């Protein structure tokens, strides 16, 4: 059974507000995208890494991916993260349904080997696997500026990536999702949960280091993680 890691780098980094997409910003002297590709390229159970890049930046992404033996292809993403995942699924159309596929945010350059191991181990028996960490903040639902609901914090997790699937499962979920004019999603497990409600989404532990570089302050933290405690030391 083959394992493909899809590194989603199709965003433009609006919240970061930099001149280039945030995945091209260097931390510890290397582009964030290179660190994310490397995490999967070096994993012994990953066979192939597919990079999905923002339009207009494919040659740069191809140059970054080139040294990694498993990063065979760089394709163009879509206008949303969901559209970029859909583009990856189209690019994997010739892969058998029992392929294991891991979708990872390029913006999470510090994913560690143990997290990938946990996702792959769960995929031995499950068709959809998420990575989550507890919230240290109280999370509330707000409507019209006032609190509408306060779910008990111990029932809540913050999702990270990679999110892992059997290819046939995520394919089916996306087929249904893309036919829904009301489609709104922020991750791939959400799409499986909504469109294939009978498929359990197993949750495994993530890591606080696996931050998603989103806002300018995250670059300061990422620079620290990359230089003081680099991924290869994990
Ligand atoms: N059209 C998109 C949008 C996002 N992503 C990827 O999905 C991951 C998580 O998205 P996010 O952190 O929101 O990145 P951006 O969309 O670039 O950021 P912003 O929302 O601030 O514009 C990132 O690695 C991003 O490159 C993608 O592949 N295609
Ligand atoms: C997939 C994700 O990283 C899980 O936390 C998150 O939903 C991505 O959201 P974004 O708005 O595309 O950064």
Find out whether the beta carbon of 53 lies less than 6 Å from any atom of ligand 1: no
Nearest CA to ligand 1 atom 28: 10
**ipTM for the predicted complex:** 0.98
Find out whether the beta carbon of 23 lies less than 6 Å from any atom of ligand 1: yes
72: pLDDT confidence band, cut at 50, 70 and 90? Answer: confident
* Orientation of helix 113-122 relative to helix 32-41, angle to 10°: 50
CB of 212 closer than 8 Å to CB of 105: yes
234: pLDDT confidence band, cut at 50, 70 and 90? Answer: low
Q: Name the pairing type of β-strands 26-27 and 30-31.
A: antiparallel
Tell how far the Cα of 10 is from the centroid of ligand 1, in angstroms: 6
140: pLDDT confidence band, cut at 50, 70 and 90? Answer: very high
Q: Which ligand is nearest to the CA of 157?
A: 2
Q: Which ligand is nearest to the CA of 14?
A: 1
Would you say residue 67 lies in a domain?
A: yes
Task: Tally the domains of the chain.
Answer: 1
Find out whether the beta carbon of 169 lies less than 6 Å from any atom of ligand 1: no
Dump pLDDT digits (tens) for 39-56: 999 999 999 999 999 999
Tell how far the Cα of 154 is from the centroid of ligand 1, in angstroms: 28
Nearest CA to ligand 2 atom 9: 186
- Cis amide linkage into residue 48, ω under 30° from 0: no
State both tokens at 74.
Answer: 């760089």
Would you say residue 147 lies in a domain?
A: no
Tell how far the Cα of 187 is from the centroid of ligand 2, in angstroms: 6
Would you say residue 15 lies in a domain?
A: yes
Give the end-to-end CA distance of the chain in Å, rounded to a whole number.
Answer: 27
Tell how far the Cα of 84 is from the centroid of ligand 1, in angstroms: 9
Residue ranges in the chain assigned as alpha helix (H)? 32-41, 58-65, 81-91, 113-122, 167-178, 188-195, 216-228
Atom of ligand 2 nearest to the CA of 158: 5
pTM of the model: 0.97
Atom of ligand 2 nearest to the CA of 103: 1
Would you say residue 132 lies in a domain?
A: no
Instruction: Look up the domain containing 15 and give its range.
Output: 3-125+162-197+208-233
153 CB-contact burial (10 Å; exposed 0-12 / middle 13-18 / buried 19+): middle
Query: What CA–CA distance (Å, rounded) separates 107 from 41?
Result: 16
Would you say residue 155 lies in a domain?
A: no
Among 18, 107, 161, 222, say which to mutate for ligand 1: greatest number of ligand atoms within 8 Å of CB.
107
Dump pLDDT digits (tens) for 177-193: 999 999 999 999 999 99
Would you say residue 40 lies in a domain?
A: yes
Nearest CA to ligand 1 atom 9: 105
State both tokens at 205.
Answer: 């532990």
User: Which domain CATH number covers 226?
Assistant: 3.90.550.10
């Amino acid at each position: 059974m083959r394992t493909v890691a899809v590194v989603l780098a199709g965003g433009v980094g609006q919240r970061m507000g930099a001149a280039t997409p945030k995945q091209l910003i260097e931390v510890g002297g290397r582009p964030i995208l290179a660190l994310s590709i490397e995490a999967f390229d070096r994993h012994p159970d990953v066979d192939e890494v597919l990079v999905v890049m923002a339009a207009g930046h494919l040659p740069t992404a191809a140059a970054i991916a080139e040294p990694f033996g498993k990063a065979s292809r760089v394709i163009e993403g879509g206008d949303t993260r969901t559209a970029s995942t859909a583009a990856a699924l189209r690019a994997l159309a010739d892969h058998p349904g029992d392929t294991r596929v891991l979708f990872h945010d390029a913006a999470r350059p510090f994913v560690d080997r143990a997290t990938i191991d946990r996702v792959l181990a769960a995929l031995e028996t499950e068709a959809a696997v998420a990575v989550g960490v507890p919230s240290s903040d109280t999370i509330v639902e707000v409507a019209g500026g006032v609190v509408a609901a306060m779910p008990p914090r111990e029932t809540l997790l913050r999702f990270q990536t990679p999110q892992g699937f059997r290819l046939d499962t995520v394919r089916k979920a996306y087929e249904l999702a893309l036919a829904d004019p009301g489609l709104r999603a922020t991750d791939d497990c959400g799409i499986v949960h909504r469109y294939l409600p009978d498929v359990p989404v197993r949750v495994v532990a993530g890591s606080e280091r696996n931050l998603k570089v989103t806002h300018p302050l995250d670059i300061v933290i990422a620079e620290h993680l990359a230089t003081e405690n680099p991924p290869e030391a994990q």
